[in-house]
Structure 1
Amino acid sequence: MKKFIFLLLIIAGCNKPKEENMVALKESLSVKKDSKKFYDSDEIDHYYLDISEEKVMKLARVKNKNEEQEDFISLLVSHYPDSITEPNFEIKLHKYKFKKTELNETKKKEVENIFSKKDSIQTEFSSCLPYYRDIFIFKKNDSIIGIAKVCFGCGVSRFLGSEVDTDGFGLYSELNKLKKIIREK
């Protein structure tokens, strides 16, 4: 059954699946377990870049990219950074015009609730390229203890620094809640 679902999603390509169908499918195969947070932080910074998929694809197609273009595309579509100790990571986010928002205590608790351990099937069914326009930096005592990169379009996420299994993350209902929290003014 899982292979059939996976094949169906691959055939569909990168078109965003009907949200209600994906929510029903993933949640029917998922049971919430304990709420062990991915990160034990005292501060969460959210970085967001308002850039279209077309602009990202245009940059990705550039041949003979210069170092700055390579850095930028790596930040948006790859697993960069490789570790939470990456030097000047926040400086690079500012350099490429990511907007920083420090989450207040209420939003911090809501985000921590979403970034918590769950039992779930493998959620990376997407056959499209993720665009990581949302990056969360988790800090404790002013030091980075974790980084989460999220693509709301594909539902793909990348976590660094978590000692908790993050494989169950990515239900569309969770992503929608997360998006409402960080986009709400």
Structure 2
Amino acid sequence: MKTLITLALCLLLVSCNDKKPTGPLPFFHFDEIDYYHIGISEEEATEMSIKQDKTRKEQALLQIINGNVPVNTRDTLFINNMDILRFEKHDIDPKFNPQFADLFRVRENVKPEAVSCISVYRDVLVFRQKDKVVGVAKICFDCGTDEIVGSRYDTSTFGEGGDYEKLEALLKQAK
């Protein structure tokens, strides 16, 4: 009986070996990216945000470019309203998916840079896997800031090492 318990305990310890995954850890697993862009200036966004009587469209737009929409990957209602809110949609050629996956991945932490401007998220990437939204990245290229939802990993290192410049160039190439 002792042998059986010892054997079971050994098997349990071996099976619980905490193996860390090797290689880059992607923020999302995706097969499709929808890219949305709006050409709104910082001044227009500021004027709209301080305006007292905002229309529903203005409120919805501000929630995307300055606010916290989407909250999670199930919060997809905003996607249906993007064209109404003047966002231009671009389908990203899937042949560029590996380059996007390389940008949107976990990496070693580098000292963060201080941001001294108000973010206006004019660029929104919607990552899909089999037509289901698995992640959303809102990007402000002017400030070098982002809001990313849907990642299983810490996204705070995104933007380091020239990521924003690489992403901006990749978006111009891929759309």
Shift of 1:81: 1.4
Contact preservation (8 Å) 1:124, 1:156: no
How much has 1:65 moved relative to structure 2?
1.9
Match of 1:106?
95
Q: Structure 1: how far apart are the matches of 2:48 and 2:163?
A: 30
CA distance in 1, matches of 2:93, 2:129: 15
* Match of residue 65 from structure 2: 76
Contact 2:69 2:78 in 1 (8 A): no
1:1-185 equivalences under 5 Å are 34-121=23-110, 123=112, 125-171=114-160, 173-184=162-173
How far apart in 2 are the matches of 1:71 and 1:164?
Answer: 28
SS in 2 for 1:44: strand
Residue-by-residue CA offset, 1:44-64 (whole Å, 9 max, x unaligned): 111111111121111112113
Q: Deviations over 1:86-138 (max 9, x none)?
A: 24221121111211111112322211111111122463621321110111101
Is the Cα contact below 8 Å between 2:57 and 2:85 reproduced in 1?
no
Q: CA RMSD in A?
A: 1.8
Larger radius of gyration: 2
Assess if the C-alpha contact under 8 Å between 1:123 and 1:170 holds in 2: no
Deviations 1:142-176 (A, max 9, x none): 11011111111111111111102111111261110
Q: Deviations over 1:3-55 (max 9, x none)?
A: xxxxxxxxxxxxxxxxxxxxxxxxxxxxxx95211100111111111111121
1:59 & 1:172 partners in 2: Cα distance?
Answer: 33
Kept in 2: contact 1:133–1:150 (CA 8 A): yes
Distance in 1 of aligned mates of 2:110 and 2:75: 31
| Normalised TM-score (structure 2) | 0.80
Number of aligned residue pairs: 153
Contact 2:119 2:140 in 1 (8 A): yes
**2:9 maps to what in 1?**
none
Q: How many percent of aligned residue pairs carry the same amino acid?
A: 26
Q: Distance in 2 between matches of 1:127 and 1:67?
A: 29
Q: Which runs of 5+ in 1 are unaligned?
A: 1-32
Within 1, Cα distance between the matches of 2:172 and 2:38? 12
SS in 1 for 2:162: helix
Question: How far apart in 2 are the matches of 1:77 and 1:40?
Answer: 26
**8 Å CA contact 2:137, 2:147 repeated in 1:** yes
The answer to whether the Cα contact below 8 Å between 1:34 and 1:118 also exists between their aligned partners in 2 is no
